[in-house]
Amino acid sequence: MNDSKKPSLGTALLLALTIVLSAGGNLLLSSGMKHVGSVETGPLIAVVRAFGRAIARAEIWLGIAALLLWFVCSLVLFSRIDFSYAQPASAVGYALVAVLGYAVLGEAVSAARWVGIACICAGVTLIGRTPPRTTA
């Protein structure tokens, strides 16, 4: 067992990058799709047109790139620290998306959502107090 209580600087930065890429990617996709407009189930041609409008937007491509990079960072992170540390710690992304949605996109954040954000932050704080790697 590795007794180190804190992740190395590189691993901590990778974890932070994973969280930011996940939140940023989802935010970019959300922002891009809001410009495309509501995609309803209906005639195939309408869905195809909406898809065409979506792929013409830079935010959509940036969002896809961010999420691809997020996937790669997650894989590298899994090779460095415990899965039971990395998986819940990256849930901070949920909280970050809600905060950014409120601050950047002007979305309403309900009391229940703030409670959820507080629970995630408290949970991640507890997880952060355990050793990031407990196996050889």
Partner 1 sequence: MCLAIVILAGTGGELLAAHAMKQSARRQVTSGSAVAMLLQGGFRLSAMWVGLMLQGLAFFTLLALLSWADVSFVVPATALNYVVGAAGSMMFFREQVDRMRWAGVLLVCLGVAFICASGL
Which residues of this protein are in contact with partner 1, per CB under 8 A?
Answer: 1, 72, 75-76, 78-80, 82-85, 87-88, 91, 94-95, 98, 110, 112-113, 115-130, 134-135
- In the complex, least distance from residue 58 CB atom to partner 1, rounded to whole angstroms: 26
Virtual torsion, Cα 121, 64, 37, 103, nearest 10 deg: 30
C-beta closer to partner 1: residue 48 or 118: 118
Residue of 98, 136, 101 lying closest to 120 (CA atoms)? 98
C-beta closer to partner 1: residue 36 or 92: 92
Q: And the tokens for 122?
A: 């408290």
Residue of 8, 19, 27 lying closest to 73 (CA atoms)? 19
C-beta closer to partner 1: residue 34 or 56: 34
